[in-house]
Amino acid sequence: MEMQKKLLLDIKDLKVHFNIAQKSAWPWTKPLTLKAVDGVDIRLFEGETLGVVGESGCGKSTFARAIIGLVEATAGNVVWLGSDLTTLDHKAMRETRKDIQMIFQDPLASLNPRMTVGEIIAEPLKAYFPTMPADDVKALVREMMTKVGLLPNVINRYPHEFSGGQCQRIGIARALIMKPKLIICDEPVSALDVSIQAQVVNLLKSLQKEMGLSLIFIAHDLSVVKHISDRVLVMYLGNAVEMGEASALFSDPKHPYTKALMSAVPIPDPDLERNKHIELLEGELPSPMNPPSGCVFRTRCPVASAECAQQKPQLSGGDIHSVSCLNVH
């Protein structure tokens, strides 16, 4: 009998709203509210990979940054190993960050150009263990460089001397040097060539197995998400519209938005690609400062009803496959 995996992260009704000042002559004019994330629930277990997908502007990156505290949550709870991160003070949150690290989208921009590779990877060690001997720091850095596929003899080179894929490996090494439990990957392969994307994704899978990592993997490329994820969360305009095991969600998408995303995925077979049906979405993406009432997807939904304008649907259907739609069961 398979043992129940340990629950690491339990997010309940997470909201991230921003106040946007209006261009007005009147100083008392109230600011507009931009609802970047508007009530998302997820649970993440030990050793699991959760893929997060959705079009640009749907709140994926804001959601990820709110988990780690880079963006302040407006409401909701982010419970990490029993502690609510939204209530921790600076000192306690700094201690927690040893276990939660992040890999960013632009590999070169996320590295300090004035620091060598060795200094970049060693930076977390020096922040948390300032009295660690230099030789021990250097040995750990060289060990981590080898793990991510970098030659230790390039330890004194600078980021501009490396390719995009190599810079991303440096970022991965920096994230892993503290041996965290969770890595949040914010579109880590979107700026890389296709062949390099595969190398980085396979590297992450290998390191996950070796180090027992959990991953939150954000991406636009659904093929990559399918390859790496155990479960997938689909977001639209700051809301969760569908979530489930990757095999169930990709083989039988329920929500009209998910179906539209899936239909846009290229098929390697030219005949199948030429004859496949693409479900195009009508209309423009609504503004997160003025989202539709009820279901936020209803203005572009082919199966929307009058009820959709009155009631906001919630994810329902169970752990294997749940959908947020009043007209899909």
pLDDT tens, residue by residue, 130-181: 999 999 999 999 999 999 999 999 999 999 999 888 999 999 999 999 999 9
CA distance 63 to 7: 19
301 in Cβ contact with 308 (< 8 Å): yes
Instruction: Tell whether 3 is covered by a domain.
Output: no
Specify the pairing of strand 214-218 against strand 49-53: parallel
Instruction: Tell whether 226 is covered by a domain.
Output: no
The pLDDT value recorded for residue 269 is: 67
Q: Which residue has the tokens 């991953």?
A: 215
What are the pLDDT digits (tens) for 212-238? 999 999 988 888 898 899 999 999 999
Instruction: Tell whether 140 is covered by a domain.
Output: yes
- Conformation bin of residue 238: beta by default, left when phi > 0, alpha when psi is -120 to 50: left
Task: Show the domain range for 134.
Answer: 112-179
**Sign for the pseudo-dihedral over CA of 237, 278, 313, 317:** negative
Instruction: Tell whether 117 is covered by a domain.
Output: yes
Instruction: Tell whether 150 is covered by a domain.
Output: yes
Instruction: Tell whether 237 is covered by a domain.
Output: no
For residue 49, give the 3-state DSSP assignment.
strand
Contacts of 111 (CB under 8 A, 6+ apart): 120, 159, 167, 170, 171
CA distance 13 to 76: 5
Specify the pairing of strand 214-218 against strand 32-45: unpaired
What are the pLDDT digits (tens) for 88-130? 888 889 889 899 999 988 888 889 999 999 999 999 999 999 9
Instruction: Tell whether 125 is covered by a domain.
Output: yes
Instruction: Tell whether 164 is covered by a domain.
Output: yes
Contacts of 280 (CB under 8 A, 6+ apart): 260
When mean pLDDT is compared across 35-39, 142-146, 275-279, the lowest value belongs to: 275-279
Q: Which is higher by pLDDT, 205 or 107?
A: 205
Distance of CA 48 to the CA centre of its chain: 13
CA distance 69 to 85: 8
Cα–Cα nearest to 237, from 329, 324, 327, 318 = 324
202's tokens: 């396979």
172 in Cβ contact with 134 (< 8 Å): no
What are the pLDDT digits (tens) for 249-274? 988 899 999 998 888 777 776 776 67
Q: What are the φ/ψ torsions at residue 92 (nearest 5 degrees)? A: -65, -40
Q: Which DSSP letter does residue 68 get?
A: H
Q: What Rg, from alpha-carbon coordinates, does the chain have?
A: 21
Whether 3 shows a pLDDT value over 90: the answer reads: no
Mean pLDDT value across residues 299-305: 88
The tally of domains found in the chain comes to: 1
Read off the pTM. Answer: 0.90
Residue 275: band (very low, low, confident or very high) from pLDDT cuts 50, 70, 90: confident
Mean pLDDT over each residue of the chain, to the nearest integer: 89
Whether 1 shows a pLDDT value over 50: the answer reads: no
